[in-house]
Amino acid sequence: MRDYVVLVGNDINNIVAGKSWEDLLKDLTEHLSISVDFPKDKPFPLAYEEIYFKGLDTSGSFDERVVKKFVASHVSDIQSSTIHKRLMELSCENILTTNYDLSLESVLSSNIKSLKNSGYIKESLYNLFRYHEVGNKKVWHIHGSANAYQSITLGYEHYSGYLQHMRSYVVTGTKDTYKNRSFSPLTKRFKEDKVEHLSWVDMFFTKDVHILGLSLDFNENDLWWLLTFRQKSMHTKRLLIFNQVYYYIPKTYVDVSKSKLDLLKSVGVQVVEIDNSQLDKLGYYNRAIDQISEKYT
């Protein structure tokens, strides 16, 4: 039986009452005494840079750490729900998340403030190797973690630097990047069957990936690059890849998401439509998790 991982996004945090992403942006701009509009056609990584530069213009000595500390504090209030619990009860060892909060870990740990980065490389800014070990699970915070606020990936510059590190890790190798170790390209290690799964990126080439509760907006350039590179490697037979990537979406969102779903299908992702016509958000996630679980029993 092939191993699998689940990649979960922020929508799982919308099941219980709490502050939304929109609330965070509103509170952040008020905290910084600036005004920024967030229309849908403004990619958030660039909107974040607008926040940064307006903050700089306002104060004259703006410190980006203030923003990241604010975000870390904001998400620390997020509570886990039965869906977090069900995700942590799945048979897979690894849970990947774009979320900064530690609500997944709180299912298995009563002292999340003591959690430390267990990654092979102790990154401070990027998140190729960052995970927390709780119980029998590894939770990989691929866009940063609230307990390491500098790692929180927000702006265009941070995303671009992260993608640069990802591409080096996968395509060219990491000579002189890390003190502990130099990695040969993942593509080379994959061909030699020497993938150690020290990074979450490895799993996109070796394990089934189930993507749940993640909008996968086009500004998620790190994930779109990874999916594109993976599919091109399969198409050119550069790499013999046999795992599958699945994207779960409520059926009521399919028509308005056509552009994104067409692109996902083009990069080899299997779109799984869940009939949510008689379901609330909690029911939708329970049904999706049921389908994932049944696939590996």
What digits encode the pLDDT tens for the residues 120-154? 999 999 999 999 999 999 999 999 999 999 999 99
Distance of CA 24 to the CA centre of its chain: 18
Rounded CA gap, 140 and 142, in Å?
A: 6
Residues 6+ apart with CB under 8 A from 43: 156, 217, 218, 219
- 101 with 13: CB under 8 angstroms? yes
pLDDT at 289: 98
- Regarding beta strands 269-274 and 245-250, do their DSSP bridges make them parallel or antiparallel, or are they unpaired? parallel
Stretch 25-39: mean pLDDT: 85
Q: Are 198 and 206 in contact (CB under 8 A)?
A: no
Q: Which amino acid is at 138?
A: K
Residue 120 tokens read as: 């092979």
Res. 1: pLDDT tops 60: no
Q: Reply yes or no on whether the pLDDT at 195 is more than 90.
A: yes
pLDDT at residue 60, as a whole number: 63
- The pLDDT mean for the chain works out to 92
